[in-house]
């Protein structure tokens, strides 16, 4: 389910995915197929890790990357889940061929 909420999505971001919802900063972003595909990749990742462990892993990996890179955006872009999503978000058929736990190769 896709919703738009400029208040729920943090500043500096276009979308936020918390299974089973995708929250967009602006309504017009519903037409951005690449962004929607990026968020659908996150939905698949969350399902694979049974949702709660996904967020624990995501948070811990972010903290580890932040300590290593000392820059918020660089740490965020290097989280394994984000690397997979960014690398494959323009391939609209990626989820059809994605194997189970594909994000592991991005660690």
What is the C-alpha separation between 12 and 29, in angstroms, rounded? 14
Nearest CA-CA partner of 82 in 68, 97, 61: 61
> What is the pTM assigned to this prediction?
0.94
pLDDT for residue 34: 98
> What are the distances in angstroms from CA 82 to CA 27, 28, 60, 62, 88?
23, 23, 14, 10, 10
> Quick one: which H or E segment has residue 22?
strand 21-24
pLDDT digits 0-9 by tens, 55-65 = 999 999 999 99
pLDDT for residue 105: 85
At residue 67, the 3 state secondary structure works out as helix
């Amino acid at each position: 389910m896709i919703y738009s909420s400029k208040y729920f999505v943090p500043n500096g971001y276009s979308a936020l995915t918390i299974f089973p919802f995708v929250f967009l900063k602006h309504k017009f972003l519903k037409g951005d197929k690449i962004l929607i595909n990026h968020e659908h990749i996150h939905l698949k990742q969350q399902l694979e890790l049974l949702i709660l462990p996904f967020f624990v892993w995501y948070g811990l990996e972010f903290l580890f990357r932040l300590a290593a890179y000392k820059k918020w955006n660089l740490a965020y872009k290097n989280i394994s889940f984000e690397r997979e999503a960014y690398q494959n978000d323009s391939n609209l058929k990626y989820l059809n061929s994605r194997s189970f736990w594909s994000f592991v190769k991005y660690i």
